[in-house]
Structure 1
Amino acid sequence: MAEPQIAYAQDEHGRPFIVVREQGKKTRAQGIQALKNHISAAKSVAQIVRTSLGPRGLDKILISPDGDIQVTNDGATIMQNMELENQIAKLMVQLSASQDSEIGDGTTGVVVLAGALLEHSEALLDRGIHPIRIADGFERACQVAVSALEKVADKVDFGKSKGEQVELLKTAKTSLGSKIVSKAGDLFANIAVDAVLSVADLDRRDVDFELIKVDGKSGGSLEDTALVKGVVVDKDFSHPQMPREVRNAKIAILTCPFEPPRPKTKHKLDITSVEEYKKLQEYEKTTFEDMIKRVKDCGANLVICQWGFDDEANHLLLQHDLPAVRWVGGPEIELIAIATNGRIVPRFEDLSPEKLGTAGLVKEVGFGTTRDRMLVIEECANPRAVTVFVRGSNKMIIDEAKRALHDAICVVRNLVVDNRVVYGGGAAEIVASVAVAKAADEIATIEQYAMRAFASALDAIPLALAENSGYAPIETLAEAKASQINTNDPRIGIDCMGSGITNMREARVFDPLVSKRQQLLLATQLVRAVLKIDDVIEQHNVE
């Protein structure tokens, strides 16, 4: 008996079609298994940034799809540039972004802490404790930890004079210790403190970040970085024969172009003879001269224009001894207006002497053998606007220096808002860990297990610091913790740059209290959110 023939659907080359049934077998993770999947994803992200913690932490090299390279150990930057598929991993990215926007520093620490909390909560889940009871215990422990830090926090007094800035400089330098720019840490700490105090309102305890501009130019070394009491604009004078320096500048800040007005109609103008062309040329020249006359009549001796102007207008400006800068961007125009106490003028008809900005010196600065030039506006009418001008050997160094400077400026800003500090090197976390473990012993309910787990998770920060510094992590942590308890000294921490444990006040390692408090609160909130998710709605195909 002949075997039955099987017919295959074939394409034009005789190859069989592979038919896949849609809506095939699918699976959903639910309950404890879903929670464990979330925790696993968060732990893997925390493990990546863990090695970047502390002054001896390692940098990461980030390569974009376009091949651009970033070398950084800034937690928020690393997290934002990682391509993550898992939703909980993306929550960790948002966690570090929240810390960055609120505080500016501590972006690596908050991710490591959240990862440690989730890791310890996994062991509690295995013991059969309900996720909500774990979350409640963590929140209770967080309150204990925050109040413990507030008790041991020291106040730092500071003022605008150099002698009163010592504590601010120490704190700024602590934040720069883990960055590429640490070799120029003293210079950058001074710049950060000077920049913040230049724009700070100490009576209202407020810092307007809009008045601090950070700009950079490759070439030179990090030590060439300087704080300019004024504005630096990446432009030069519009004509090469214009003067390179203007003293006692009266600046007309224009958002209208140097060109004849265009009628807003759909009609076109046909020129059929030489005479008509000459008339048009004469009209254009008359219009330019009228514009220049209006600027000169109001007393301006420098024009800064948001738009460009052609060679005809440029030549006339030179003839009338009126230096000009063109194509200055909107944010820079606004900063120049704030710094010089000038008004942005949208029409030439609106120009008047009281709308002019004033500056003691406007000069064009060159950079060695390159053609790069920049405009520096100094001795401004409003001394509160400042620019940090970063130099470095290449773009990668400058970008990392800008990120480091942002962190240092934020740290100083935090101290202006709240001048309490705790001590770094894991000292603050050990204080909180000891306080939480002690509070857990006094609680009769099941939350005590979650609180002990919280205390163990807090040890992850000093453990990582010791590990990244090449010490035996568990021995060093045990020694630091025992030393704190025996001497009742909350300043004992891990000296990453020295040999083991030391008094962090003497080592001059400070952290703003607001930064540590925010780390604890944000990490606890994220962990609570993760523990409440027990079902993954997105479905995944399986073989």
Structure 2
Amino acid sequence: MQAPVVVMKTDTGSGERQFGRKAQLSNITAAKTVADIIRSCLGPKAMLKMLLDPMGGIVLTNDGHAILREIEVAHPAAKSMIELSRTQDEEVGDGTTTVIILAGEILAQALPQLERNIHPVVIIQAFKRALTDALAIIDEIAKPVDINDDKEMYGLISASIGTKFVSRWSELMCNLALKAVRTVSLNVGGSQQEIDIKRYARVEKIPGGEIENSEVLDGVMLNKDITHPRMRRRIENPRILLLDCPLEYKKGESQTNIEISKEEDWNRILQIEEEQIKAMCDAIIALKPDLVITEKGVSDLAQHFMVKANITALRRVRKTDNNRIARATGATIVNSVFSASSSDIGTGCGLFNISKIGDEYFTFLTKCKDPKACTILLRGPSKDILNEIERNLHDAMGVARNVIWTPRLCPGGGATEMAVAVGLERRAKSVEGVAQWPYRAVAEAMEVIPRTLIQNSGNSPIRVLTQLRAKHAEGENAKISSSWGIDGETGKVIDMADPKGPHVWEPLAVKAQSIKTAVESACLLLRVDDIVAAKSAKQVSGPIGGGVDE
């Protein structure tokens, strides 16, 4: 079974080139094709895509980023579109489907402008002006949010995962995401916060149990067991020493060769080895740790000394896990046991214990006093379901992080896009010359989000979109009527500000980023007027350098 391949070949493969209008048309077609693939993945009634990987495994998801990551495309413009969803995912963690659909639609709307013989530079200038105005409109309609109000935060995060597989466990997922983000957030100074989800909030998936058993641990979990059976498996308030060096005999720099002529020499070599390991262990024992965790190996002899001193050791822990333990327990990772001091010992952990889940042993470092790193333990019936839950949880944590960074919200359900479309349409009258056409094109392209939501919910796009446009056009001020959007479940027009309704609000950061990324990428692709495929090395005949004499 092959990975899904969407082949959009251009005739650049033979070393020919496409230039001018032909190259632009080719790019626009490619971008539209990518957008069409995931158009049905927007909203709560989104369809799923089944992807087959080369190993025969399957992925069932409606997460735009996960789908595009698995797709293989041949066309350079299509590749650049797929790169967009990755940018969006890394930057704000949500809105990956929106950004692709928007970029595809903006490029599609640019096609008539090119046919009117408007120069691409004029179109790009108009697009950039429309982007500035669109961001101003979004800023106008955004409302502040209290990030310490759990109920408000839950409503916000559930809007991001309401369209996903985990929506039925919405409250649990919101709880996990919010707790994880609050745990890893660190005040760098003033109001500046560092929230590094990728590095310090690790998701561990263990098949088995029920989804309701998932939890955020106040500490770190590792898939490790102790190195020696007589070491302690449970320690309360352990003193932890973290190492980045092996507790093994250190061989010579260039793996020194030794020739032995007498039996005593061999015993002397073993003695030196033993002395070196003993010196290492003595340096550790002097610091009186209860637990030693190293990223490298621990020799049998070192284990013997450790057991005698009643110290538990874990070996070959991943560097990323070691960093998390350091952050959670307040320990410092040491490069050499001889340079370690008592200030490097971590005492922030309340409990170390090893327990068996399923067939494997897991180490838990929990009850940390002030953990700035955490592990999210996910349980569920199968690997595929756990993978999908992890993808959805990543989006939920992204939303929580964005709101803590920029505590302002925009109405969801296509309301923001419609407000931008109507606002740009009004401002288009003040744009002079032919630039007015491409400026209006951005306004029309914005309507693709509410239209797609209506289509995916099975309603009539023309009738409902007209109603929505009328609602937004009623108020002269963008703030008054901007909260009217589409209920993704029924496809009807509703007021997002109504507390009795679905009340879908999204972070300002996600909305602003998706519009910025979409417009910028459309401008980038419009600027291309030549696609040249380089010849492969096989086609270059003659000796290296083409046989030209120097």
**Distance of aligned partners of 1:539 and 1:328 in 2 relative to their CA distance in 1, 3 Å threshold:** closer
Q: Quickly say closer, same or farther: Cα 1:504–1:255, change in 2 above 3 A.
A: same
Native 8 Å contact 1:205 1:416 kept in 2: no
Q: Does 1:501 align with 2:489?
A: no
CA-CA distance at 1:246 after TM superposition: 0.9
Query: Contact 2:351/2:365 (CA < 8 Å) preserved in 1?
Result: yes
Instruction: Give the distance between the partners of 1:125 and 1:346, measured in 2 at CA.
Output: 62
Task: Find the counterpart in structure 1 of residue 506 from structure 2.
Answer: 511
Does 2:542 match 1:532? no
Corresponding position of 2:356: 366
**Aligned residues of 2:186 and 2:372 also touching (Cα < 8 A):** no
CA distance in 2 between partners of 1:392 and 1:491 (Å): 37
- Other-structure match for 2:125: 136
Partner of 1:179: 164
Structure 1 residue 208 corresponds to structure 2 residue 198: no
TM-score normalized with structure 2 length: 0.87
> Cα deviations across residues 41-81 of structure 1 (Å, max 9, x unaligned)?
11000000111112221222222333333222222222222
Deviates more, 1:290-299 or 1:32-41: 290-299
1:430 aligns with 2:418: yes
Structure-2 residue corresponding to 1:19: none
Choose the corresponding residue for 2:280, options 277, 291, 302.
Answer: 291
Question: Please, which of 484, 499, 517 is the counterpart of residue 492 of structure 1?
Answer: 484
Give the residue type in structure 1 aligned to 2:195: D
Counterpart CA distance in 2 for 1:412 and 1:384 is 16
Alignment counterpart, residue 19 of structure 2, candidates 30, 46, 54:
30
Matches for 1:102-141 after TM superposition, within 5 Å: 102-141=91-130
Conserved? CA contact 1:288–1:316, under 8 Å: no
Q: Deviations over 1:8-65 (max 9, x none)?
A: xxxxxxxxxxxxxxxx998543322221111111100000011111222122222233
Residue by residue over 1:207-229, the C-alpha shift from the partner in whole angstroms, topping out at 9 and shown as x without a partner, is 33043233322222332221111
SS at match of 1:29: strand
Deviations along 1:251-295, one digit per CA (max 9) or x if unpaired, are: 111222222332335543456676665555555555444433332
Which of 253, 260, 266 is matched with 1:264 structurally? 253
- Structure 2 counterpart SS, 1:232: strand
Letter in 2 for 1:362: F
The answer to whether 1:408 aligns with 2:400 is: no
Assess if the C-alpha contact under 8 Å between 1:27 and 1:540 holds in 2.
no
> What does 1:420-499 align with in structure 2 at a 5 Å threshold?
420-486=408-474, 488-498=480-490
Structure 1 residues 260, 31: closer, same or farther in 2, change over 3 A? Answer: closer
Aligned partners of 2:16 and 2:533 also within 8 Å: no
CA distance in 2, matches of 1:530, 1:280: 68
Contact 2:49-2:67 at 8 Å conserved across structures = yes
- Among candidates 67, 76, 99, match of residue 87 of structure 1: 76
- Residues 141, 482 of structure 2: 8 Å contact kept: yes
- Which one-letter code corresponds to 1:355 in the other structure? D
Q: Counterparts of 2:242 and 2:389 in 1: how far apart (Å)?
A: 31
1:199 corresponds to which residue? 184
What CA deviation, in whole Å up to 9, does each residue of 1:463-512 have, x standing for no partner? Answer: 11111112222222222222333364211111112461212233231111
Q: Do 1:196 and 1:207's aligned partners in 2 also have CA atoms closer than 8 Å?
A: no
How far apart in 1 are the matches of 2:403 and 2:267? 66
Equivalent AA in structure 2 for residue 465 of structure 1: L
TM-score, reference length from structure 1: 0.88
Cα distance in 2 for partners of 1:241, 1:467 equals 64
Name stretches of at least 5 consecutive residues in structure 1 with no aligned partner. 1-23
Conservation of the 8 A alpha-carbon contact between 1:207 and 1:413: no
Bigger Rg, structure 1 or 2 = 1
Structure 1 residue 151 and structure 2 residue 146: aligned? no
Q: Say if 2:403 is the partner of 1:418.
A: no
Distance verdict in 2 for CA 1:86–1:270, change over 3 Å: same
- Secondary structure in 1 matching 2:153: helix
C-alpha deviation, 1:323, in angstroms: 1.1
Deviates more, 1:91-100 or 1:376-385: 376-385
SS in 1 for 2:36: helix
Q: Which amino acid aligns with 1:165?
A: D
Aligned residues: 512
What is the letter of the counterpart of residue 416 of structure 1?
I
How far apart, CA to CA, are the structure 1 residues paired with 2:315 and 2:268? 27
What does residue 64 of structure 2 align with?
A: 75
Distance 1:453 1:414 in 2: 30
Between the aligned partners of 2:204 and 2:137, the Cα distance in structure 1 is 40
Mapped partners of 1:425, 1:255: distance in 2: 50
What's the secondary structure of 1:508's corresponding residue?
Answer: coil
SS of the aligned residue for 1:474 comes to helix
Alpha-carbon distance in 1 for matches of 2:255, 2:87 = 51
Distance 2:535 2:418 in 1: 42
Cα distance in 1 for partners of 2:377, 2:535 equals 51
> Is the Cα–Cα contact under 8 Å of residues 28 and 540 in structure 1 kept in the other structure?
no
Q: Which residue number corresponds to residue 371 of structure 2?
A: 383
1:351–1:463 Cα change, 3 Å: same
Aligned to 1:7: none
**Equivalent residue, structure 2, for 1:8:** none
Of 22, 46, 58, which residue of structure 2 is paired with 1:57?
46
- Tell me whether 1:341 sits opposite 2:330 in the alignment: yes
Q: Is residue 308–residue 326 contact of structure 1 (8 Å, CA) maintained in 2?
A: yes
CA distance in 2, matches of 1:324, 1:498: 58
The share of aligned pairs that are identical, in percent, is 32
Q: Does 1:230 align with 2:219?
A: yes
1:41-52 correspondence runs (5 A): 41-52=30-41
Give 3-state SS (helix, strand or coil) of 1:321's partner.
coil
One-letter code aligned to 1:208: I
Q: Deviations over 1:148-205 (max 9, x none)?
A: 111111100122xxxx222222221111122222222211111111222223246424
Measure, in 1, the Cα distance between the counterparts of 2:181 and 2:523: 36
Tell me, yes or no, if structure 1 residue 354 matches structure 2 residue 330. no
| Whole-angstrom distance in 2 between the partners of 1:196 and 1:409 | 6
**SS state at 2:431 partner:** coil
Please give the per-residue CA displacement for 1:100-148, whole angstroms capped at 9, x wherever unaligned: 1211111110110010111111122223333222222222222222111
